Amino acid sequence: MNFFINASMPKQKSGIEHAELARFRLFNAHHVESRIVIRDWDPQLHIHAKEAGIVDRQLIGMFDYFQEALDVPSKNIVTAELDFGVMNTHVQHEETRDLVFTARGQLVARVNLNDDRTVQSVELFDGFNNLFRVDHYDSRGFVSLSQWYTPDNKVGTETWQTPAGKTVLETFNKDDAVGQRQKSGWRLIDRDGTVRQFDTIERLTKHFFDLLNEAFWSETTPNIFVLDRAHLGDWGLLHLKRPAYTVFYLHNSHASDSQDPMHAILNNFYEFGMHAMNGYDAVVSATHRQTRDVEARFSPQTKLFTIPVGIIPDHQLAEPRIPVAKRQFGKMVVFARIAWEKRLDDLVRAIGIVHRAIPAVSLDLYGYADPSENFKARRAIEAAIKENHLEDVVKFKGYTTNVAEVENHAMMYGLTSRMEGFNLGIMEAISHGLIGFTYDVNYGPNEIIEDGINGRIVATGDYKALAAAILDVLRDPELAQHYSTGAYDSAERYSETNVWQAWQALLKDAQSKWPSKLQAVPAFAHKQ
C-alpha cells in the first residue's frame, strides 16, 4: 500500500495539498492503490476530503482510526435532538448559535451552529455558571472530542470518543515551568481493552504508523510511506517495528536561504530529516537542480529521485491553444498565498514601472492572506500599491478554484519569491499558455521557466529588470506569441505520462529492495 502522509486536508489548500492530490489522482488513474493519511484531528476532514475527490475508503485519519470512525454514515444533528440532562429547558435562537436555558433562566448550554444550523459544538455550564465542558461534533454527526475545563477556565483533559460514545483516547494539559499550557501525555485504549501511554504525539503517531504497516502487511510487496510534511512523522517512520519503504519528500528548499543551498543553515522544517536522510529508503526532490544540490552537499547513501509535484492532465494538454491576440492585453495574474516568502510587493513595484509606460497593464492576485505578523505581507503589498498609485491596477481576488477560466483569459504570470520548492502556480500557468516572468530563484521557477523560450528570468530581487522584461513583451506581439507557444510546448514535461514514469522508477526501487529488507530483519521482529 502507498501511504501519503499529511497534517490535514483544509478547504483552502496549500501547494503541498495540491501536490499530494495530484499524485493521488495519478495513482488512481493507473489503478495503483494509495491512501491519504491525515495525522491531525479535524472535525471537517470528511467534508473537505470529499470535496477534493477523496472517498472514505481511501482516507485514513489517525484520530478516526483510533475512534473506529473511518467509515461512518453521516447524519445531521440539530439542537432539538440534544439531551442536556435538565428538564423543561427552552431555546433562544441567534444567528450562529442557540442558547439553552432552564425554566428559571439559568444558562445550560451554548450550541454553536454550522451554516445549515446543524450542531458544530456545545458549551456546557454547571449550576454556578462555570463552563465545564465543550463537546465538538464531527461533521458526520457524533461527538468526537470533549474538552473538560478546570476551575481556572483552562482546558484540562481532552477525550476522543467512538461514534457510540466510548472514550478511546485522552490527553492531559498542564502548565509548564513558564506557565505555558502543554500536553503532558496521551492515553490510548485499544479495541481489545489494552491501555497504552505515550509521552508525546510523535510517539502516538509512530504507534499509528506501526498499526498501518501491520494492517496492510505483505510478504511480497512493501508498504510505501511518503512523508509530505516532515514534522509529522520523521521520527516515527525511522523507528518502525517492521520494515517498510520510507520516502522523505522535499516540498521546499532544504536550505533557509535557497540561493545559497550549499552553505546556508537548513530549513528548520527539514533539519532533522536532512541529517537523518540515510535512514530513509528514498529522498525525493521536485526539481533536478535541488536533487543535484542535495547530492553535492550531503553525499547521501540513500537513493535520490526527482519527481515533479505537479501534474498537467492529458485532457488539458490536448485543449485548443488560445493565441495571445485573443487574451486580455497586459493582464498578469498570480496564484499564491499572500505571504512573506512570495515577496509580491516586488511584483507590484515592477507593475508600477510598467504601468507608467503602458497603462493597460493590470495585476490580479489570487490567494488567501497569511496572517503572520498581523498580515505583514498583505500590508507590504498595499503599501506598494499606494506608493505607485495602482489602486485601480492591482486587485486582491481572494482564493479561487477557477484557475483555468482565469488563466485562459490572462496573458502573463509573475513570480518574485524568495524561495520555492517547485511552484505549482507557474507550472499551471505555462500549461495555459501564459508568459512567465520570474526571479532566478531556487527551486522550481528557474527550471519551469526557460529564459527566452517560455518567458523571462531576471536576477533575484531586481524588480526593475523584471519590469523591463515585461515591457519588452508588451511592446512586441511576435515575441509575446513566441513565449506563449513555448509555454504550451514546455508544459509537456509535466504530463501524466512523464510524471508517472518518474514514480514508476521509485516503485520499482521499492520492490527491488523488498526481499533484502525483509531478510535483514530479525525473525522476532516479524512477530511483534
pLDDT of residue 245: 97
CA-nearest of 65, 76, 96, 380 to 209 is 65
Cβ contact 244:222 at 8 Å: yes
- 22 alpha carbon, distance to own chain's centre: 12
Domains 2-70+202-306 and 317-492 fall in the same CATH topology: yes
Q: Which three cell numbers stand for residue 220?
A: 511480497
Rounded distance, CA 239 to CA 521, Å?
A: 13
Average pLDDT, the chain: 94
Going from N- to C-terminal start, the domains of the chain cover 2-70+202-306, 79-200, 317-492
- Number of Cα atoms under 13 Å in the Cβ half of residue 122: 25
The matching CATH number, chosen from 3.90.930, 3.90.550, 3.30.70, 2.60.40, for 79-200 is: 3.90.930
pLDDT of residue 528: 38
Report pTM.
Answer: 0.89
Taking CA atoms, 329 is separated from 120, 359, 474, 477, 480, in Å, by 47, 11, 8, 10, 10
- Radius of gyration for the chain, computed over Cα atoms and rounded to the nearest angstrom: 26
Helix H or strand E encompassing 503? helix 496-520
Q: Which three cell numbers stand for residue 43?
A: 472535525
Q: What does the DSSP assignment read for 373-435?
A: HHHHHHHHHHHHHHHTT-TTTEEEEE--S-HHHHHTT--EEEE--S--S--HHHHHHHHTTPE
Using one digit for the tens of pLDDT, what is the confidence trace for 455-467? 999 999 999 999 9
Is the four-CA dihedral 383, 386, 387, 389 of positive or negative sign? positive
Cβ contact 415:394 at 8 Å: no
The residues, ordered by sequence, that sit 6+ positions from 312 with a Cβ below 8 Å of its Cβ are 427, 428, 431, 491, 494, 495, 496
The matching CATH number, chosen from 3.10.310.10, 3.40.50.150, 3.40.50.2000, 2.60.40.10, for 2-70+202-306 is: 3.40.50.2000
SS3 139: coil
Q: Which CATH number does 317-492 carry?
A: 3.40.50.2000
- Number of Cα atoms under 13 Å in the Cβ half of residue 362: 14
CA-nearest of 113, 115, 112, 146 to 11 is 115
pLDDT of residue 520: 61
How many residues are listed for the chain in this entry?
Answer: 528
Rounded distance, CA 347 to CA 32, Å?
A: 42
Walk along the chain (528 residues) and give the pLDDT tens digit of each residue: 999 999 999 988 888 999 999 999 999 999 999 999 999 999 999 999 999 999 999 999 999 999 999 999 999 999 999 999 999 999 999 999 999 999 999 999 999 999 999 999 999 999 899 999 999 999 999 999 999 999 989 999 999 999 999 999 999 999 888 888 899 999 999 988 999 999 999 999 999 999 999 999 999 999 999 999 998 889 999 999 999 999 999 999 999 998 999 999 999 999 999 999 999 999 999 999 999 999 999 999 999 999 999 999 999 999 999 999 999 999 999 999 999 999 999 999 999 999 999 999 999 999 989 999 999 999 999 999 999 999 999 999 998 888 999 999 999 999 999 988 899 999 999 999 999 999 999 999 999 999 999 999 999 999 999 999 999 999 999 999 999 999 999 999 999 999 999 999 999 999 999 877 776 654 334 433
Rounded distance, CA 490 to CA 473, Å?
A: 18
pLDDT of residue 52: 95
Cβ contact 84:100 at 8 Å: yes
CA-nearest of 86, 463, 473, 509 to 283 is 509
On the 0-12 / 13-18 / 19+ scale of CB atoms within 10 A, 457 is buried
